[in-house]
Structure 1
Amino acid sequence: MHAVTRYLSGNRFTRSNFVRNVALVMTGTAGAQALNMAFTPIITRLYGPEAFGVLGTFVAMLTIATPLAALNYPMAIVLPKRDMDAAALVKLSLFIALITSLVALILLFFFGHIIAKLFNLQSIEAYVLLMPLGMLLATTMALANEWVARKKLFKIKAQVTVMQALWLNLAKVGLGLFLPVAAVLIVLTVIANATYALMMYFKVKAVSQLPALSSIGQATKPLAAIAKNHSDFAYYRTPQIFLNGVSQSLPVLMLAAFFGPAAAGFYSLGRTILGIPSTLLGQSVSSVFYPRFNESVQAGENSYSLLLKATLSLAVLGIVPFGLIILMGPWLFTLAFGDQWGDAGQYARWLALWTFFAFVNRPCIAAIPVLALQGYFLAFETVGLLMRGAALLVGFLVFNDPLIAVALFSCVNVLLYLMLAIATIISAKLHRVQEAV
Structure 2
Amino acid sequence: MLKKINKRIFDASDGIGRDIFILSFGVILAQLIPFLLQPVLKRMFSPEEFGAYDVFLKTFSIIVAFSCFKYENAILLPKKDSDAKQLVYLCLFLALFVFLMSLIASIFVGFFVELPLSRTALIILPFSVLFYSVFNAFNMYLIRRKKFTLSSTNKISRRFFEGATQYVSGLAKYSNGLVFGDLLGNLAQAIYSFWKVKKISPIGLVSKTKIKDLATEYRELPIYTLAPNILNTFVLGSLTFLILIKFDIRQVGFIEFTQKILSIPSVFISLAVSQVVFQRISQMVIRGKKILSLLISLIVILSLMSIVFIVLIESFGEQIFELIGGKEWGTSGKYAKTLVYASSSMLIFSPLGKVLIALKKFKINSAWELGKFVAIAFLFFLNYKSIEQYILVYSILIVLFYLIYGGIIIYQAYKYQVENNNKTQ
- TM-score range (shorter-chain normalised) is over 0.9
C-alpha distance 18-164 of structure 1, shift in aligned 2 (>3 A): same
Tell me the CA shift for residue 303 of structure 1.
1.5
C-alpha distance 134-169 of structure 1, shift in aligned 2 (>3 A): closer
Length-normalised TM-score, structure 1: 0.91
Residues 390-420 of structure 1: per-residue CA shift (max 9 Å, x gap)? 23543xx1x2211211121111000010111
Query: Equivalent of 1:73, from 71, 74, 86?
Result: 71
SS in 2 for 1:222: helix
Correspondence for 2:129:
135
> How many angstroms apart in 1 are the aligned matches of 2:398 and 2:392?
10
Q: Say whether 1:213 aligns with 2:209.
A: no
- State the one-letter code of the partner of 1:311: I
- State the one-letter code of the partner of 2:83: D
Correspondence for 2:420:
435
| 2:157–2:188 contact (8 Å) kept in structure 1 | no
Correspondence for 1:284:
272
C-alpha distance 223-144 of structure 1, shift in aligned 2 (>3 A): closer
Correspondence for 1:41:
39
> How many angstroms apart in 2 are the aligned matches of 1:31 and 1:416?
31
Tell me the CA shift for residue 111 of structure 1.
4.2
| 1:311–1:362 contact (8 Å) kept in structure 2 | no
> How many angstroms apart in 1 are the aligned matches of 2:266 and 2:127?
27
C-alpha distance 222-34 of structure 1, shift in aligned 2 (>3 A): closer
Tell me the CA shift for residue 61 of structure 1.
1.2
C-alpha distance 111-15 of structure 1, shift in aligned 2 (>3 A): same
| 1:329–1:346 contact (8 Å) kept in structure 2 | yes
Q: Say whether 1:145 aligns with 2:139.
A: yes
Tell me the CA shift for residue 202 of structure 1.
2.3
Tell me the CA shift for residue 35 of structure 1.
2.4
Q: Say whether 1:389 aligns with 2:377.
A: yes
| 2:5–2:297 contact (8 Å) kept in structure 1 | no
C-alpha distance 41-7 of structure 1, shift in aligned 2 (>3 A): farther
> How many angstroms apart in 1 are the aligned matches of 2:353 and 2:306?
17
| 1:54–1:265 contact (8 Å) kept in structure 2 | yes
> How many angstroms apart in 1 are the aligned matches of 2:313 and 2:272?
21
Task: Write the mapping of 1:45-64 to structure 2, written as runs, cut at 5 A.
Answer: 45-64=43-62
- State the one-letter code of the partner of 1:197: A
Tell me the CA shift for residue 125 of structure 1.
5.3
Q: Say whether 1:416 aligns with 2:412.
A: no
Residues 262-299 of structure 1: per-residue CA shift (max 9 Å, x gap)? 11111111111111111111111112111100011111
Task: Write the mapping of 1:38-437 to structure 2, written as runs, cut at 5 A.
Answer: 38-114=36-112, 116-117=113-114, 121-124=115-118, 126-181=120-175, 183-206=176-199, 208=200, 210=201, 212-214=203-205, 216-217=206-207, 222-394=210-382, 397=383, 399-437=384-422
C-alpha distance 407-125 of structure 1, shift in aligned 2 (>3 A): farther
Tell me the CA shift for residue 374 of structure 1.
1.5
Tell me the CA shift for residue 227 of structure 1.
0.3
C-alpha distance 340-393 of structure 1, shift in aligned 2 (>3 A): farther
> How many angstroms apart in 2 are the aligned matches of 1:346 and 1:29?
27
- State the one-letter code of the partner of 2:9: F
> How many angstroms apart in 2 are the aligned matches of 1:95 and 1:55?
28
- State the one-letter code of the partner of 1:13: I
Residues 161-211 of structure 1: per-residue CA shift (max 9 Å, x gap)? 223323322221122111242x110121133222112122223433x2x35
C-alpha distance 34-322 of structure 1, shift in aligned 2 (>3 A): farther
Length-normalised TM-score, structure 2: 0.93
> How many angstroms apart in 2 are the aligned matches of 1:77 and 1:432?
25
Structure 1 alignment gaps of length 5 or more: none
- State the one-letter code of the partner of 1:419: I
Provide the identity percentage.
23
Correspondence for 2:16:
18
> How many angstroms apart in 2 are the aligned matches of 1:125 and 1:253?
19
